[in-house]
Amino acid sequence: AENYKALEQACEQHLQDRTEDSELVAESHGALEEALQQQLQCWRSEHELAAERHKKLEEVVEQQVSDRTEDRKLSAENYKALEQACEQQVKDRTENSELAVESHGAMEEAMQQQLQGWRSE
């Protein structure tokens, strides 16, 4: 009877220990689950922030590419306008030179006639 009572107490103690162990495991599991949920939420927030930064950076890069393309177009237009202005100046100077040569020729001819007129007198 004493052995039976000692065995019964040992079984009850074992059952109580297992119950306490199970409760501790459940508490520990709950705390671990909560910590993992918080970590997951933190990672999601970081991922969302990183995605927003990436999108903003992408928009900035696209704007820079657009600006550079527009700058190149404007530079090409400016170069073309400058080239046309230079061509016009060359043309104008050529025309001016041709007029000067014609004028010089007409003046020389007039002087020759004047000189001839003086010689004749």
Q: What is the pLDDT of residue 54?
A: 94
Pair of tokens at residue 104? 């010089």
Whether pLDDT at 45 is above 80: yes
Pair of tokens at residue 75? 């530079």
Q: What is the pTM of this model?
A: 0.45
State the residue for tokens 């501790």: 24
Q: pLDDT tens digits, residue range 53-106?
A: 999 999 999 999 999 999 999 899 999 999 999 899 999 988 888 888 888 888
Q: CA-to-CA distance for 88 and 70, rounded, in angstroms?
A: 27
Q: CA-to-CA distance for 91 and 6, rounded, in angstroms?
A: 124
Q: What is the pLDDT of residue 48?
A: 94
Q: CA-to-CA distance for 34 and 38, rounded, in angstroms?
A: 6
Ordered alpha helix ranges (H), the chain: 2-120
